[in-house]
Amino acid sequence: MAKNSRIIDVKCPGCKNKIFKYKKVGKGNLLRCWKNKIITDNSIREGDKIKCTCGKTIGIDKGKYIKMERIQEIK
């Protein structure tokens, strides 16, 4: 694992369901989820929108990464 990296669970701010298990590198907020760092994916895709199973949009697919909306991350 890279220096300053950790595995986090990305959860929906509304229903608290787990959306991703993600390898986070560095400090700070999760603004982009790089697709190659997503370990498990429980999201639903509607076009370029990434949604939780509850229907809340959590991000927009931008090709190599997902631009995240406001989310909650739990270690």
Asked whether residue 70 carries a pLDDT value surpassing 80, the answer given is no
pLDDT tens digits, 53-64: 999 999 999 999
Q: With the C-alpha atoms ordered 26, 10, 8, 72, is the resulting torsion angle positive or negative?
A: positive
pTM for the whole thing?
Answer: 0.82
pLDDT tens digits, 2-50: 578 899 999 988 899 999 999 998 888 889 999 999 999 999 999 999 9
Residue predicted with more confidence, 38 or 70: 38
How many domains does the chain fold into? 1
Q: Which domain holds residue 32?
A: 5-74
57-61 and 65-68: which strand pairing? antiparallel
